[in-house]
């Protein structure tokens, strides 16, 4: 199998010289400057921190020769999206005291804080540490937060795969003590020993990020085909319980690099539950050594698979795994996806409520005081919170005796239940984009309500009001809200123009087709409306819009 170019990017040098992610971070956190150096920005990502500035004010400040309005985004890694009441209260306190009064739930079941000053970074990290949480490894060129379908974890109070999620997350989190030294203790150790980091990361870690998700066999809410490595639980006739392993998925691309693209993962093998960490390590080390370190736009595992082929990559993994790979179990062709919203009774008799969180933003506003409601619920009741891959929140393992009280709190705070949601609103996703994300080319989260309203109005106007339509919006082609597998994917191309991808769907096993380029935001609904009319007239009974578009229009 071919190896990547030896001409490395500058980021590789920063990693190599960082002494396992320490670099100059501690010194720079102690200065009066509101931002940090470029090298420090790269290292901060490994600690779950992104340097940002307010892009709404950037131009005016630049013209006035004023310092930009710098701040930081912190992403808290939450394996499987599982949060205790005390942890939720700690996160809520951080939002109010150190961030912008909001918590943002991500499609990878993490929690983000925005608008954090540099002077608050260490206090925030210490608060997380005190509550058994961390932002370390939530970003950077490492194995990211392990995502898992909530249904796999809520079958009992200690779900059958909860320990597996935690075990994988722990095994592949960087072992260097850099985060503790810099952000928690505030004092570097006298030296960094060579054994300070896992051998599978080494001094330069991975070529880029590596994402793992565990799907329910009948519920692809995690978009398992969009992951670097996906796991689907199953029972093998000879090996017993384990996982079908998928590799090489990823949805991001770059407009400036036509050799980048979205790709769905391929089934690689079946692995027994007891061997899953060894198999993941084999895949990770193969990627570490074969991934492209000369072009970060093309450094993901999906390009190794695309360039070399599944068979060659399987041979590489086999050599590192140390035993033959077992053929994967068949993957359901139409796995579907549960949004986990509404009330349901869990197998142990406890109750669960899934609440919609628009664009994942937990906040209080004039209409809905969701943040206050969740804070009161966390303070009063014994339950478990789950962040879902749809940016929503589950109140899980509630006593049936507490259902009426919880309902009353939510109603009093203006929180809407699933029965009150529109057919587009229910599943619409968006990334933060402007004004904070440095990669954003166009608006996303701030314009999502307008687009939802427009599409729901169009559905009503053509006579199919109430039919579900999956919408995902991002401000750039990195694809954080996974638009490349959506029924309607809207991707920022310019400040005012969006590319329109159509024909994906809830099963997540089909890439959407590029339908139109550089569509002005206020014309998106106009472009889609004739297609909705055709769906009404030509669609089969119960055929989703994505299935119809693929069958009748793009084929």
* CATH at residue 312: 3.30.413.10
46-84 pLDDT per residue, tens = 999 999 999 999 999 999 999 999 999 999 999 999 999
- 282 with 397, same domain: the answer is no
> What is the structure's pLDDT at 193?
61
- What are the b/e assignments for 36-47, b being 16+ CB within 10 Å? beebbbbbbbbb
Of 420, 441, 458, the one marking the end of a domain is 420
Give the sheet arrangement for strand 513-520, strand by strand.
Answer: 429-430, 471-474, 488-492, 497-502, 513-520
Task: Report the percent of the chain where pLDDT is more than 70.
Answer: 97
pLDDT of residue 192 exceeding 90, the answer is no
Distance CA 243, CA 532 (A): 39
CA proximity to 37, closest of 114, 115, 118, 112: 118
Of 365, 400, 420, the one marking the end of a domain is 420
Q: In this structure, is residue 491 part of a structural domain?
A: yes
| β-strands 212-214, 229-236 pairing | parallel
> What is the structure's pLDDT at 4?
47
Q: In this structure, is residue 142 part of a structural domain?
A: no
Structure token pair of residue 299: 């450094």
Please provide the size of the chain in residues.
Answer: 555
- 407 with 430, same domain: the answer is no
Distance CA 101, CA 38 (A): 28
- 400 with 498, same domain: the answer is no
How many separate domains does the chain show? Answer: 3
Residue 389 belongs to domain with CATH number? 3.90.480.10
Phi, psi of 216 (to 5 degrees): -75, 140
CA proximity to 20, closest of 204, 169, 170, 285: 204
Task: Place 195 in a pLDDT band, splitting at 50, 70 and 90.
Answer: low
Judging by beta carbons within 10 Å of its beta carbon (0-12, 13-18, 19+), is residue 158 exposed, middle or buried?
exposed
264-294 pLDDT per residue, tens = 999 999 999 999 999 999 999 999 999 999 9
Distance CA 518, CA 539 (A): 27
Task: Place 160 in a pLDDT band, splitting at 50, 70 and 90.
Answer: confident
Task: Place 335 in a pLDDT band, splitting at 50, 70 and 90.
Answer: confident
CA proximity to 393, closest of 351, 434, 360: 360
Q: Which range of residues forms the domain containing residue 443?
A: 425-554
CA proximity to 313, closest of 330, 331, 301: 301
Distance CA 535, CA 375 (A): 43
Q: What Rg do the C-alpha atoms of the chain give, in angstroms?
A: 23
- 429 with 550, same domain: the answer is yes
Q: What is the DSSP letter of 549?
A: I
- 258 with 314, same domain: the answer is yes
- The answer to whether 509 and 264 are in contact (CB under 8 A) is yes
Least confident residue range of 149-153, 320-324, 402-406, 459-463: 149-153
Query: Concatenated DSSP letters for 97-158?
Result: HTSSS-EEE-TTS-EEEEEE-GGGHHHHHHHHHHTT-B-TTSSSSSB-PPEE-HHHH-SSTT
Distance CA 292, CA 521 (A): 36
Of 386, 420, 454, the one marking the end of a domain is 420
Distance CA 522, CA 514 (A): 18
> What is the structure's pLDDT at 158?
66
Q: In this structure, is residue 87 part of a structural domain?
A: no
> What is the structure's pLDDT at 155?
74
- The answer to whether 390 and 342 are in contact (CB under 8 A) is no
pLDDT of residue 33 exceeding 90, the answer is yes
Span 443-448, mean pLDDT? 98
pLDDT of residue 1 exceeding 60, the answer is no
Q: In this structure, is residue 176 part of a structural domain?
A: no
- The answer to whether 227 and 213 are in contact (CB under 8 A) is yes
- 408 with 509, same domain: the answer is no
- 440 with 414, same domain: the answer is no
Phi, psi of 76 (to 5 degrees): -95, 125
Q: In this structure, is residue 9 part of a structural domain?
A: no
> What is the structure's pLDDT at 157?
58
Cis peptide before 435 (omega within 30 of 0): yes
- 241 with 286, same domain: the answer is yes
Task: Place 334 in a pLDDT band, splitting at 50, 70 and 90.
Answer: confident
Within a 10 A sphere around the Cβ of 403, how many other Cβ atoms? 15
- 433 with 514, same domain: the answer is yes
- 463 with 546, same domain: the answer is yes
- What are the b/e assignments for 345-381, b being 16+ CB within 10 Å? ebeeebbbbbbbbbbbbbbbeeebbbbbbbbbbbeeb
Residue 256 to residues 9, 261, 454, 473, 493, Cα–Cα distance (Å): 17, 12, 31, 20, 11
Q: In this structure, is residue 242 part of a structural domain?
A: yes
Residue 82 to residues 87, 92, 113, 162, Cα–Cα distance (Å): 10, 15, 17, 9
Task: Report the percent of the chain where pLDDT is more than 90.
Answer: 93
Which residue is listed with tokens 């669960």? 352
Q: What is the DSSP letter of 551?
A: I
CA angle 513, 516, 522 (to 5 degrees): 125
Q: In this structure, is residue 139 part of a structural domain?
A: no
> What is the structure's pLDDT at 156?
64
- 433 with 414, same domain: the answer is no
pLDDT of residue 194 exceeding 60, the answer is no
Q: In this structure, is residue 16 part of a structural domain?
A: no
- 349 with 318, same domain: the answer is no
């Amino acid at each position: 199998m071919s190896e990547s170019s030896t001409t490395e990017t500058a980021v590789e040098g920063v990693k190599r010289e960082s002494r396992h992610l320490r670099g100059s971070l501690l010194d720079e956190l102690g200065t009066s400057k509101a931002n940090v150096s470029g090298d420090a920005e790269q290292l901060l990502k490994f600690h779950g921190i992104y340097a940002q500035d307010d892009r709404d004010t950037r131009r005016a400040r630049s013209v006035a020769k004023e310092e930009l309005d710098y701040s930081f985004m912190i992403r808290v890694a939450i394996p499987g999206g599982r949060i205790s009441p005390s942890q939720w209260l700690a996160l809520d306190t951080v939002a109010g005291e150190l961030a912008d009064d909001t918590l943002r739930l991500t499609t990878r079941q993490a929690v983000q804080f925005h608008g954090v000053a540099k002077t608050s970074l260490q206090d925030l990290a210490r608060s997380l540490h005190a509550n058994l949480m961390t932002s370390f490894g939530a970003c950077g060129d490492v194995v990211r937060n392990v995502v898992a379908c909530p249904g796999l974890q809520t079958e009992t109070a200690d779900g059958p795969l909860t320990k597996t999620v935690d075990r994988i997350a722990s095994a592949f989190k960087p072992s260097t003590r850099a985060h503790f030294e810099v952000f928690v203790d505030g004092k570097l150790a006298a030296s960094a020993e060579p054994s300070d980091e896992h051998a599978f990361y080494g001094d330069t870690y991975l070529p880029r990020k590596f994402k793992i998700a565990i799907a329910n066999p009948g519920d692809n809410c995690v978009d398992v085909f969009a992951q670097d490595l996906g796991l689907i639980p199953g029972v093998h006739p000879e090996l017993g319980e384990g996982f079908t392993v998928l590799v090489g998925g990823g949805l991001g691309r770059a407009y400036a690099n036509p050799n980048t693209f979205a790709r769905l993962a391929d089934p690689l093998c079946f692995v027994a539950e007891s061997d899953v960490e060894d198999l993941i390590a084999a895949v990770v080390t193969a990627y570490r050594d074969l991934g492209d370190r000369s072009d970060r736009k093309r450094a993901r595992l999906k390009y190794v698979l695309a360039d070399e082929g599944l068979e060659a990559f399987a041979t590489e993994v086999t050599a590192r795994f140390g035993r033959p790979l077992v053929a994967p179990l068949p993957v359901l062709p139409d796995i579907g996806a549960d949004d986990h919203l509404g009330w349901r009774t869990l197998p142990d008799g406890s109750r669960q409520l899934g609440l919609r969180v628009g664009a994942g933003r937990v906040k209080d506003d004039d209409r809905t005081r969701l943040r206050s409601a969740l804070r009161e619920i966390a303070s009063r009741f014994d339950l478990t919170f789950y962040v879902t891959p749809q940016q929503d929140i589950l109140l899980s393992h509630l006593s049936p005796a507490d259902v009426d009280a919880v309902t009353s709190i939510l109603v009093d705070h203006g929180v809407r239940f699933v029965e009150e949601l529109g057919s587009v609103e229910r599943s619409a996703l968006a990334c933060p984009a402007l004004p904070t994300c440095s990669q954003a080319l166009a608006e996303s989260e701030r314009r999502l309500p307008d687009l939802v309203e427009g599409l729901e109005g169009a559905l009503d106007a053509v006579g199919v009001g109430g039919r579900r339509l999956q919408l995902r919006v991002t401000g750039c082609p990195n694809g954080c809200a996974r638009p490349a597998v959506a029924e309607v994917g809207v991707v920022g191309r310019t400040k005012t123009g969006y590319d329109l991808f159509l024909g994906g769907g809830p099963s997540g096993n089909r890439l959407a087709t590029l339908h139109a380029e550089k569509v002005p935001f206020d014309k998106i609904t106009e472009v889609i409306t004739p297609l909705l009319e055709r769906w009404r007239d030509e669609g089969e009974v119960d055929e989703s819009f994505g299935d119809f578009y693929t069958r009748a229009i793009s084929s």
